[in-house]
Structure 1
Amino acid sequence: MHITLHKSKIAKQSSIEITGSKSESNRLLLLKALYPELTLKNVSNSDDSNLMTTALSASSNLIDISHAGTAMRFLTAYFSTQEGRTITLTGSQRMKERPVQVLVEALRELGANIEYLENEGCPPLKIYGKKLNKCRVSLKANVSSQYISALLLVASKLENGLELTLEGEITSVPYINMTLSLLDEIGVEASFIGNVITVKPNTAKLKPKTLVVESDWSSASYYFSILAISPLGSEITLSSYKENSLQGDSVLVDIYKHFGIATVFKDNKMTLIKESSPLKPLAVDLKDAPDIAQTIAVTCFALGIACDLTGLHTLKIKETDRLVALKNEIEKLGGKVAITDKSLHLSASNQINDMVSIGTYHDHRMAMAFAPLALKTNLIIEDAGVVSKSYPSFWEDLKRMGFEIT
């Protein structure tokens, strides 16, 4: 399904409710599978979280998680620990190209029995669930934090817990801290000292507990972008958000000050206000929040300002190679982009071509990151339904704010 976004003006004030964080939801869904005494509220309605829920309750031995990378990693660890179950874990064609070797090797070191069914190092996997009694493993610290979180989430159910040593400079620290905070919240003991993370084993039942998932900050990023491109005095209120969030993408509050956006927190809501229109170039290291790179690049392009975004080495192994995809689509619109394997450099320019058709590459963030450009020009978004991966009601929410979409 392609949609056309017509050049639009948004309401001066609007409010949007955003579903629970995909990253928090997926971690808590796995913990609930290990500890059924937990109750979850405001769980994400994203495809990824729905796939995770279905996979965890499936009785079938063949589980297909489509494009859901987080689910692939978390479930690989989970099924490795499920004694007596043999599972084949597969996904889309793109998923079969996405590496999972780092995690598989770490799990094998802990005693797991996992086979590759097609290409070495990639899904599909055959997992023979068993009791894992080894407890020490090392990983390079700059790998995807999802590998690290996958191990930490199952660690309390390993016979002797886990001692995980991270070698080198650690990236995506907020996502590791999110996992550890959630373990702490449910009553699992863990520590992160220097480069060593330790999780204590836990065989006891937990105290029954209800956890409310905070709304998704990556989804909020598109509204920061919309507001940055909007007239002075525009406001958007988003719920439900905490000022001291566990989510790495909450750095949006600081980054978007650069574009004149003030953020006010009150009663679990945050209100974004366009206070000024500074147009200075932006340089920012996104190693702790790579998922907002596309949003920021498009904001800068819309405002005609240059940006240098670094720390993006994980973007090449996402739903698509996001650096190449950004370069392709921004250049179609008339921008000038240079990329390396871990950075993106956008030149300042005031040209935005009209009625360009934006390719989305099976990547939900490509569709949503480019949508705010409709405040400046008409554009077409190809395969617009891809947003269901993380934010199914995105286009309806934009319409409610005043975007014209056919």
Structure 2
Amino acid sequence: MNIKLHKSALKNNCSITITGSKSESNRLLLLQALYPEICVDNISNSDDSKVMQNALQTESGVIDVHHAGTAMRFLTAYFAIQKGRDILLTGSSRMQERPIKVLVDALNQLGADISYSKKEGCPPIKIKGEELVEHKVTLKANVSSQYISALLLIAPKLKNGLQLTLDGDITSIPYIEMTLSLLNQIGVDTQFKDNIIVVKPFADKLEPKTIVVESDWSSASYFFSIIALSEVGTQITLTAYKQDSLQGDSALVKIYKNFGVETVYKDNAITIKKVDNSQPTTINFDLKDSPDIAQTIAVTCFGMGIACNLKGLHTLKIKETDRLEALKNELEKLGAKVEVTNDSLYLHTSKKINENISIATYNDHRMAMAFAPLALKMTLQIEDANVVSKSYPTFWNNLEALDFEISR
């Protein structure tokens, strides 16, 4: 489905409820499968989390995760320790191009039985569940944090736990800390010191425990962008968020101060308000701890006529699409000048925005949502708009609640 976003004026002082964090939900769903005493509330209604839920109920056979990268990584680790179960784990054509060798090698070193059914190093993969008795493994520290979290999530169920050494500078530390914090919440003993993570085995039966998932900060980013592109005094309230968030993308609060956006916490909600029209000519951010908000920030800067230099983006090359090239392509259609490397994006200052451009989304939910706030500036089309269901199925409905005019 392609949609047209007409140039819109934002309704002021609205409230939006955002679905639970996909990152927290998928971690907790896996832990719930390992420890059934856990009850999880406010689970994400995203496609990715539905894929996780369905897969974890599958005993054997073929599991297709479609575009769900987190599910692919986490389920690889989960099924590796399900002794006596055989699974073929596959995904979309793009998923079959995305690397998984780092995780498969690590699991096989621990004693897993995983092999490739097509291309070496990529899904589909055959997994024969085994008891893993080895407990030491080393990974390059700059790999996707999802590989690291996949290993950490199954670690308490390993006979001897896990000692994971990270070699070099670590990427996306907040996502690793999120995983460790959730393990701690269910009673698992962990230690993270000097690039070595230790997770102790935890075979005990848990006391019944309910964990409430915080709403998704990545999804909130699009509303921060909307407020940044709005008039002074405009505000939106978003629920449910907390100040001591486990999510790295909560860095939005600090980052968007640069764009005149103030955030106030109250009663498990945040109110974001445009308080200042003054703006920098150029901003510089290292997003290695929160790469998923890079697209939102780049589009915000373009809409405000600000140059931006974003670094720490090497993991974006292997997402649903090559997000750096996709951003460059679509921003340049709108009139921007963009330079990208393997881990950075530089957007030159641009005062002119081309009207009625059709934005390609590349099977990437974040491409669709990141460009949507530009409808406050001009009319544009979004191709394959249903792609937002991967993480935020009600996104277009929520924009309409803010008085965005959308032709479907």
Query: How high is the TM-score relative to the length of structure 1?
Result: 1.00
SS in structure 2 of the partner of residue 219 of structure 1: helix
SS in structure 2 of the partner of residue 137 of structure 1: strand
State the partner residue of 2:148.
148
SS in structure 2 of the partner of residue 156 of structure 1: helix
Instruction: Extract unaligned runs of 5+ from structure 2.
Output: none
State the partner residue of 1:390.
391
1:221 and 1:243 mapped to 2: Cα distance? 15
Superposed displacement of residue 203, structure 1:
1.1
State the partner residue of 1:87.
87
Q: Where does 1:6-405 land on structure 2 (aligned, <5 Å)?
A: 6-280=6-280, 281-405=282-406
Letter matched to residue 63 of structure 2? I
SS in structure 2 of the partner of residue 149 of structure 1: helix
Superposed displacement of residue 71, structure 1:
0.3
2:300 and 2:224 mapped to 1: Cα distance? 9
Letter matched to residue 366 of structure 1? M
2:61 and 2:233 mapped to 1: Cα distance? 55
2:44 and 2:60 mapped to 1: Cα distance? 24
1:39 and 1:225 mapped to 2: Cα distance? 34
1:277 and 1:331 mapped to 2: Cα distance? 25
Letter matched to residue 295 of structure 2? Q
SS in structure 2 of the partner of residue 155 of structure 1: helix
2:220 and 2:201 mapped to 1: Cα distance? 36
Letter matched to residue 348 of structure 2? S
1:223 and 1:278 mapped to 2: Cα distance? 19
1:198 and 1:293 mapped to 2: Cα distance? 31
- Answer whether contact 1:235 1:274 (CA < 8 A) is retained: yes
Letter matched to residue 59 of structure 1? E
Q: Deviations over 1:104-143 (max 9, x none)?
A: 0000110000010000000000000010000000001000
- Answer whether contact 1:331 1:337 (CA < 8 A) is retained: yes
- Answer whether contact 1:258 1:278 (CA < 8 A) is retained: no
SS in structure 2 of the partner of residue 205 of structure 1: coil
- Answer whether contact 2:59 2:85 (CA < 8 A) is retained: no
Letter matched to residue 127 of structure 2? I
Q: Deviations over 1:12-44 (max 9, x none)?
A: 211100000000000000000000000000000
Superposed displacement of residue 60, structure 1:
4.0
1:135 and 1:338 mapped to 2: Cα distance? 43
Superposed displacement of residue 59, structure 1:
3.2
2:60 and 2:392 mapped to 1: Cα distance? 28
Deviates further, 366-375 or 272-281: 272-281
SS in structure 1 of the partner of residue 361 of structure 2: coil
Q: Deviations over 1:301-330 (max 9, x none)?
A: 000110000000000000000000000000
- Answer whether contact 2:60 2:85 (CA < 8 A) is retained: no
Letter matched to residue 80 of structure 2? S
Letter matched to residue 167 of structure 2? E
Give the percent of matched residue pairs that are identical in Structure 1 and Structure 2: 66
1:45 and 1:398 mapped to 2: Cα distance? 17
1:306 and 1:240 mapped to 2: Cα distance? 32
1:232 and 1:243 mapped to 2: Cα distance? 24
Superposed displacement of residue 277, structure 1:
1.4
1:64 and 1:311 mapped to 2: Cα distance? 31
1:29 and 1:214 mapped to 2: Cα distance? 14
- Answer whether contact 1:145 1:176 (CA < 8 A) is retained: yes
Letter matched to residue 253 of structure 1? V
1:314 and 1:60 mapped to 2: Cα distance? 31
1:61 and 1:188 mapped to 2: Cα distance? 31
Count residues with an aligned counterpart: 406
Letter matched to residue 184 of structure 1? N
Instruction: Extract unaligned runs of 5+ from structure 1.
Output: none
Runs of 4+ aligned structure 1 residues displaced above 3 Å come to none
1:349 and 1:149 mapped to 2: Cα distance? 39
1:35 and 1:369 mapped to 2: Cα distance? 36
SS in structure 1 of the partner of residue 157 of structure 2: coil
Letter matched to residue 392 of structure 1? P
2:58 and 2:171 mapped to 1: Cα distance? 33
SS in structure 2 of the partner of residue 265 of structure 1: strand
